[in-house]
Structure 1
Amino acid sequence: MGAHRPQARLPTTNCRNCSLGSHLTDRLLAEGHRVIAIDNLVTGNVANIGHLAGNENYRFVRHNVSNFIFLPEQKIDFVFHFASPASPIDYLELPIPTLKVGALGTHNTLGLAKDKKATFVLASTSECYGDPLVHPQKEDYWGNVNPIGPRGVYDEAKRFAEAMTMAYHRYHDVDTKIVRIFNTYGPRMRLHDGRVVPAFIGEALTGKSLTIFGDGSQTRSFCYVSDLIDGIFRLAMSDFHEPVNIGNPREMTIKQFAEEIIRITGTKSGIEYRPLPEDDPKVRQPDITRAKKILGWEPRVNFDEGIRKTIDYFKQHIELVNGTTK
């Protein structure tokens, strides 16, 4: 490719477990873009980008996007704002940084997009719907969120980020996109980030009981990471500006999910039940009608295939010492 290759800007400070940012980087590089990645590595894992060392089309900048961003590049075509602690462990431990990156980080990255005349893509979340009273969740549902609950720092940070994104589109004519990401899984997830997929897999691979919070009747819909990245890429290239759900509508209870992990791993682990955390959503399922119509997108990787790939990843990266996980 020549010097006029498209340049993609990917801020990933406090990245959504950093795995999504790294997978999107791989896709952008494969499509011929040059990528500048920004991450302060508070929750990110540098190992997720280790394979990019020496790639002339990739540059890493360690920086917090809640602070002013300066990039000398004259031409940047895309700004992908993936910055935020996203797992409950992280945003409960870092409530103020979570709010700051949703407000200041979004303001700074939108300002960069405005200055560079770039397309801006906000990684939002299904948590904008809170503990939903409408099921499945469509983009025109405004949600049921407790703004002062422990999860509120993440939910409201993303809702505010969406509002600011639309304001920049309306008042500054910035080309903006908003993707509402539902539960996603796949390689490069952090084993101990508190989410159900790595938690169950880690427990199963080490012979521990799988820990279910509540009675296991709450539902989730799990989307494999390559499907998610394809949806985000299609949205970035579209001319649509309102939020779009990207997720897999196949819904299962947490108990069913635990039983599937036990079956696929062949573990002798049992199931242990603990109290449900405050404001934990009872149901979660995306309505992807808009994604199908606008983007021609729907998930292609079935659950069994995706979860086996994820388990294989953890088998290769987990360290087992005397039956415990490091």
Structure 2
Amino acid sequence: MVRRGITGAPPRTRRLTRPAARLASDSGPSERPGVDAASRRLVLTAGKDRLSVVTDTDIVPSGSVLVTGAGGFIGGSLVRELRQRGVGRVRAVDIKPLDAWYQRVPDTEQRVLDLADLKACQEAVEGIDLVFNLAADMGGMGFIEANKALCMLSVLINTHLLMASRQAGVQRYFFSSSACVYAADRQVSPDVTALTEGDAYPAMPEDGYGWEKLFSERMCRHFQEDFGLHTRVARYHNVYGPLGTYEGGREKAPAAICRKVIQAQLDGSGAIEIWGDGEQTRSFTYIDDCLEGTLRLMDSDISEPLNVGSSESVTIDQLVDIVEAIAGVRLERHYRLDAPQGVRGRNSDNTMIKRLLDWEPTHPLEGGLRATYEWIASEMGLRASASV
């Protein structure tokens, strides 16, 4: 299936051979686009019953913090955000070798551990007050469709980490769930009604990955009810941004489309491949909103799962339109109708998070895609010629 557009193919550029989505730094934490470091001034008082101190703009967790999955996109970004907000002791854990971490944040304790093992979890939580569990085997639709058993094995990570956290007296535990927990029969149309937290039941989640996330949500609930371990659960909706995976099969749609548009310019093909017919709908959440929502939820007294996602719904074709406009090109589109597509439509209903946290994601899709495109273009060796 092909739709033709006006092709604008710039001269070919050699692709750089640097690792995908990886940042190694020996200097102090750097700011992401749109982050104002000057506004981060601590207020000196904090209630003794709180797990954070309050700044004029930010929540700053107090005590010792563990971030699992810290070698990945969201986990690594959270470690960096915690350090930028002034958190003193952050332990970063991932199964990947250190040289494969997407980000390595200075002045943090970094450990390589397989958290599917209970003893490794016990080592990870020793002396820790707050746990942010972002460790999982996951990726884009192509990956989770082809690796259902591997995705489900992540249940060992959350189960053992909950057990170890209870034994170690951890004060609060955060679990990163996913919009993939929502019932498939509520997502059969592109003009889907935005999903509320109650739409996860009766249960019919994404096979493999979605079932693991839903089961792990229940584990968090019952560890709080039965053992008094305070748990928090966020259902992330398609998180994207700079420093994320953009190739190799684990990337999600925003990064994949950015990469394909850039590659079409590098190789002069003037065309890109799109999985599906382009009419499926999604909402995409910029990394800064994901981190802010995560920290606000962790600081709250809300134990029920909450959507952390943008409510700005677009079709995949509209997503491509935005990236093409940023790049200043129009490309021929080849539609692969036999490729994994996931549900027909998915969007986040933010009624509950606005009511309970007085907040919802604020970054518009175009701005987040621009930052993402420019970073991927730099990684791939294409000087970004973004339109203003």
CA distance 1:65–1:23, change in 2 (3 Å): same
Q: Report sequence identity in percent.
A: 23
Letter in 2 for 1:197: P
Superposition RMSD in Å: 2.4
Distance 2:211 2:332 in 1: 36
Distance 1:169 1:292 in 2: 24
> Of the candidates 50, 60, 63, which is equivalent to residue 6 of structure 1?
63
Does residue 19 in structure 1 map to residue 73 in structure 2?
Answer: yes
The two structures have a TM-score, normalised by structure 1, of 0.86
Q: What is the Cα deviation at residue 146 of structure 1?
A: 5.7
Question: 1 or 2 for the larger relative contact order (CA 8 Å, sep ≥6)?
Answer: 2
Cα deviation code 1:193-221 (max 9, x no counterpart): 24211111111112152322222111001
Does residue 249 in structure 1 map to residue 311 in structure 2?
Answer: yes
Q: What is aligned with 1:220?
A: 282
Query: Aligned runs of 1:136-285 on 2, under 5 Å?
Result: 136-143=194-201, 152-192=207-247, 193-207=250-264, 208=269, 209-277=271-339, 280-285=342-347
Query: Aligned runs of 1:82-121 on 2, under 5 Å?
Result: 82-87=134-139, 88-101=141-154, 103-118=155-170, 119-121=172-174
Cα deviation code 1:109-157 (max 9, x no counterpart): 111221232211010000001434162100011257667xxx5111111
Letter in 2 for 1:228: C
Q: What is aligned with 1:125?
A: 178
SS in 2 for 1:227: helix
Does residue 48 in structure 1 map to residue 102 in structure 2?
Answer: yes
Q: What is aligned with 2:53?
A: none
Q: What is the Cα deviation at residue 289 of structure 1?
A: 1.1
Letter in 2 for 1:296: D
Letter in 2 for 1:9: L
CA distance 1:142–1:95, change in 2 (3 Å): closer
CA distance 1:263–1:278, change in 2 (3 Å): closer
Does residue 304 in structure 1 map to residue 366 in structure 2?
Answer: yes
Larger radius of gyration: 2
Q: What is the Cα deviation at residue 319 of structure 1?
A: 4.1
The two structures have a TM-score, normalised by structure 2, of 0.73
Q: Contact (CA 8 Å) 1:210, 1:258: kept in 2 or not?
A: no
Cα deviation code 1:213-235 (max 9, x no counterpart): 22211100111110111000000
Q: What is the Cα deviation at residue 95 of structure 1?
A: 3.4
Cα deviation code 1:227-272 (max 9, x no counterpart): 1110000001111100000111011111111111111111342211
SS in 1 for 2:210: helix
Cα deviation code 1:18-43 (max 9, x no counterpart): 1100111112122332211111129x
SS in 2 for 1:141: helix
Letter in 1 for 2:292: D
The total of aligned residue pairs comes to: 305
Unpaired segments of 5 or more residues in structure 2? 1-41, 43-61, 188-192, 383-388
